Structure 1
């Protein structure tokens, strides 16, 4: 114990007798200090460059999105037809061929981008193609809502064919994308929203007449045909052809709750509205994820026949005064 108490005193004596540290002994310490300082400086520079690269990547993504949006916004007014083409009366055979503008937007926008990302990693493919497809489809839907064309059942099926061409190209070998990239792009919200919008447009009420049954040719040839009427030809162009059954609300949406009223009011009013001329609209009484899309009411308003009002066989009840009372 006494020896341990003497150690501090011995160290003090040795330090005074040894004198200053020689330059030769200081060199390793200086080298270590210089190395640490150099590493700190290098670390700081690397962080600075990484921040700059991240900022550049974000800037490039925003610029790429703006370029895709500009190309898309300029394309639709020039190429997509408007007017009566979407209000055609439903015939015995629904559309089975896409319009040429659908192929044109794929060739002019998506094909060059897909070819440019084929040699990139899957993560880069997903990022770039997702930006392009999401921007293009949102621009397409915005243009339709802005122009407000009216869609008959026939017109809704035609829009389905046009959209299906884009969707099928993305899933085909022609896109040259990796399987993982295809799956990721096809699961974008914009694709689900477009599918939901088309389903809304296809759900139009069926007009009942005393002289024609639900299966009569006169009814099929009218604009009031239901969206469940199917083409006698091939339906391969539809995104509903991914399965054996056609894409209809009956296939995707469960039946409404027994207590759910189609259009509001009591059961007697709902039944009366149906008997007086229209089958109530099946969409308005359904709260399903398929229809929870942006601007849902605006899409419903683009239908030729919305089914929100029933017509009485008595003209006096259809007048403005009769409706207000």
Structure 2
């Protein structure tokens, strides 16, 4: 009965909706250091303020929960449905070609920019669905609340804060995945693994390894600093690993050391098979290099056994 009216409304407001998405996606809302009044840094708070300003201008009752979460209510009726979205984003990363991450553009029918899909675009789409219902005067008997979080990418402490003072609605959905619904998006092993070993003074050894930007992102780059081996000794091994994994290796000399950079492809942790894990590939290379026998090289070997290249389902862990 109302489907055609809603479709016509959305089509008539399409450009306005795209403009609102671009406004939010122009704000770098990566999590940063806490400061007073900004629990997740200035960026997420700024994005939240802008989104709430939009919602208020469209006639919705809004509330800001200490810059952790913001809400917009469809009406003052009984609370029945929560729409759970978020305005924070994962770090922009490298490799942007069509545009820069916080300079959103529409090209060839697609909207490019950090947050267009996860999750500022869907958040605005939900807001416009509520606008359509409100402005078309479609009769509803219960309230719908749009919840805008600011820490989904780093553990959802924002929502924990919100639910300490508010009750969950009987029904909730999140416009933050594939249409129309996902039941059990992914499984994961959220373990925290530690190890210790004696400091090695052997000549051929690993000095440091660095990789990863967020727990839910497959590393697109990884770095290791080694000493006691030459680039000529390392490069043939690296070429062999590249043939197996597709991950490329770059080398840079630093005094008595070599910095090895593995360049793979990042991916969301829910779809790790879509990336090329730079860290797993780097560990594979390090495990094959002729380092002296010591605690750290034994640890690398253990890691490659437990988390081998391209094992995205934890089979090696059992």
**TM-score, length basis structure 1:** 0.29
Question: Which structure shows the higher helix fraction?
Answer: 1
Question: Which structure shows the higher strand fraction?
Answer: 2
Kindly indicate whether structure 1 or structure 2 has the higher relative contact order, using CA contacts under 8 Å at least 6 residues apart: 1
**TM-score, length basis structure 2:** 0.29
Larger radius of gyration: 1
